[in-house]
Amino acid sequence: MKVLMINGSPHKNGSTYTALTIVGEELKKYGVDYEIMWIGAKPVSGCLACSTCKQTGKCVFDDIVNEFMEKGKDCDGFVFGSPVYYASATGQITSFLDRLFILLITQPKRLNSVLFQHCLPAKIKHLEP
Protein backbone atom coordinates (compact mmCIF):
# COMPACT_ATOMS: atom_id res chain seq x y z
CA MET A 1 0.00 0.00 0.00
CA LYS A 2 1.05 3.57 -0.58
CA VAL A 3 -0.27 6.86 0.78
CA LEU A 4 0.39 10.23 -0.82
CA MET A 5 0.43 13.10 1.65
CA ILE A 6 -0.04 16.72 0.69
CA ASN A 7 1.80 19.41 2.63
CA GLY A 8 -0.41 22.48 2.20
CA SER A 9 1.89 24.78 4.16
CA PRO A 10 3.89 27.52 2.48
CA HIS A 11 6.80 26.32 4.68
CA LYS A 12 8.28 23.16 3.16
CA ASN A 13 9.75 21.77 6.38
CA GLY A 14 7.52 23.43 8.97
CA SER A 15 5.02 22.06 11.49
CA THR A 16 2.67 20.59 8.87
CA TYR A 17 5.57 18.64 7.34
CA THR A 18 6.52 17.40 10.82
CA ALA A 19 2.96 16.26 11.53
CA LEU A 20 2.72 14.47 8.17
CA THR A 21 6.06 12.78 8.82
CA ILE A 22 4.79 11.49 12.16
CA VAL A 23 1.67 10.09 10.48
CA GLY A 24 3.85 8.55 7.76
CA GLU A 25 6.14 6.86 10.25
CA GLU A 26 3.11 5.37 12.01
CA LEU A 27 1.81 4.09 8.67
CA LYS A 28 5.19 2.47 8.01
CA LYS A 29 4.67 0.34 11.13
CA TYR A 30 1.68 -1.17 9.30
CA GLY A 31 3.61 -1.77 6.10
CA VAL A 32 2.26 1.30 4.31
CA ASP A 33 4.70 3.38 2.25
CA TYR A 34 4.23 7.11 2.02
CA GLU A 35 5.40 10.14 0.10
CA ILE A 36 4.98 13.80 1.06
CA MET A 37 4.26 16.22 -1.75
CA TRP A 38 4.64 19.93 -1.05
CA ILE A 39 2.18 22.30 -2.73
CA GLY A 40 4.75 25.07 -2.53
CA ALA A 41 4.78 28.72 -1.59
CA LYS A 42 3.46 29.95 -4.95
CA PRO A 43 -0.24 30.77 -5.29
CA VAL A 44 -2.48 27.98 -6.57
CA SER A 45 -5.12 29.31 -8.92
CA GLY A 46 -8.77 28.50 -8.36
CA CYS A 47 -10.96 26.67 -10.86
CA LEU A 48 -12.08 28.73 -13.87
CA ALA A 49 -14.93 26.35 -14.78
CA CYS A 50 -13.48 26.23 -18.31
CA SER A 51 -14.29 22.50 -18.69
CA THR A 52 -10.88 21.72 -20.21
CA CYS A 53 -10.58 18.85 -17.72
CA LYS A 54 -13.66 17.19 -19.23
CA GLN A 55 -12.02 17.07 -22.64
CA THR A 56 -8.37 16.44 -21.78
CA GLY A 57 -8.44 14.78 -18.35
CA LYS A 58 -6.06 17.46 -17.08
CA CYS A 59 -6.50 20.89 -15.60
CA VAL A 60 -5.75 23.81 -17.93
CA PHE A 61 -3.24 25.02 -15.33
CA ASP A 62 -0.24 22.70 -15.60
CA ASP A 63 0.80 22.77 -11.97
CA ILE A 64 0.75 20.78 -8.74
CA VAL A 65 -2.84 19.55 -9.27
CA ASN A 66 -1.93 17.70 -12.48
CA GLU A 67 1.24 16.43 -10.82
CA PHE A 68 -0.85 15.08 -7.93
CA MET A 69 -3.21 13.32 -10.34
CA GLU A 70 -0.28 11.53 -11.98
CA LYS A 71 1.33 10.48 -8.70
CA GLY A 72 -2.01 9.63 -7.14
CA LYS A 73 -2.84 6.96 -9.73
CA ASP A 74 -0.65 4.44 -7.93
CA CYS A 75 -1.73 5.35 -4.40
CA ASP A 76 -4.22 3.68 -2.09
CA GLY A 77 -4.88 6.67 0.15
CA PHE A 78 -4.27 10.34 0.72
CA VAL A 79 -3.63 12.60 3.68
CA PHE A 80 -3.99 16.36 3.36
CA GLY A 81 -2.23 18.63 5.83
CA SER A 82 -2.50 22.37 6.29
CA PRO A 83 -1.75 24.92 8.93
CA VAL A 84 -4.78 26.84 10.15
CA TYR A 85 -4.64 30.58 9.55
CA TYR A 86 -7.53 32.68 10.80
CA ALA A 87 -9.76 29.64 11.43
CA SER A 88 -9.25 28.15 7.96
CA ALA A 89 -6.86 26.06 5.89
CA THR A 90 -4.40 27.88 3.65
CA GLY A 91 -5.64 29.39 0.42
CA GLN A 92 -3.23 27.18 -1.54
CA ILE A 93 -4.69 23.91 -0.27
CA THR A 94 -8.26 25.19 -0.55
CA SER A 95 -7.76 26.07 -4.23
CA PHE A 96 -5.84 22.82 -4.75
CA LEU A 97 -8.71 20.74 -3.33
CA ASP A 98 -11.36 22.71 -5.26
CA ARG A 99 -9.62 22.00 -8.54
CA LEU A 100 -8.79 18.43 -7.59
CA PHE A 101 -12.40 17.56 -6.76
CA ILE A 102 -13.69 19.10 -10.00
CA LEU A 103 -11.08 17.12 -11.94
CA LEU A 104 -12.11 13.93 -10.14
CA ILE A 105 -15.77 14.52 -10.91
CA THR A 106 -14.94 14.81 -14.60
CA GLN A 107 -12.46 11.89 -14.48
CA PRO A 108 -13.87 9.57 -11.75
CA LYS A 109 -11.66 6.55 -12.51
CA ARG A 110 -8.35 8.43 -12.35
CA LEU A 111 -7.67 7.84 -8.64
CA ASN A 112 -8.33 4.64 -6.75
CA SER A 113 -8.59 5.91 -3.19
CA VAL A 114 -11.33 5.27 -0.67
CA LEU A 115 -11.36 9.01 0.00
CA PHE A 116 -12.69 9.67 -3.49
CA GLN A 117 -15.07 6.71 -3.55
CA HIS A 118 -17.20 8.25 -0.79
CA CYS A 119 -16.95 5.19 1.45
CA LEU A 120 -18.47 5.23 4.89
CA PRO A 121 -15.89 4.98 7.69
CA ALA A 122 -17.37 1.63 8.75
CA LYS A 123 -16.35 0.15 5.38
CA ILE A 124 -12.67 1.01 5.79
CA LYS A 125 -10.63 -1.94 7.04
CA HIS A 126 -8.62 -1.54 10.21
CA LEU A 127 -4.92 -2.20 9.68
CA GLU A 128 -3.22 -4.49 12.15
CA PRO A 129 0.45 -3.88 13.05
Task: Encode pLDDT of 30-55 as tens digits.
Answer: 999 999 999 988 889 999 989 888 88
pLDDT tens readout for residues 84-120: 988 889 989 999 999 988 877 776 665 554 444 444 3
Note whether residue 129 is domain-resident: no
- What pLDDT band is residue 124 in, cutting at 50, 70 and 90? very low
Mean pLDDT value of segment 45-66: 89
Here the CATH number for the domain that contains residue 85 is 3.40.50.360
Note whether residue 128 is domain-resident: no
Chain centre distance of CA 102: 13
pLDDT of residue 36: 97
Q: What's the structural domain count of the chain?
A: 1
The parent domain of residue 83 ranges over 2-123
Note whether residue 78 is domain-resident: yes
Within 13 Å of residue 48, how many CA atoms lie on the same side as its CB?
A: 10
Nearest CA to 17 out of 26, 28, 3, 6 is that of 6
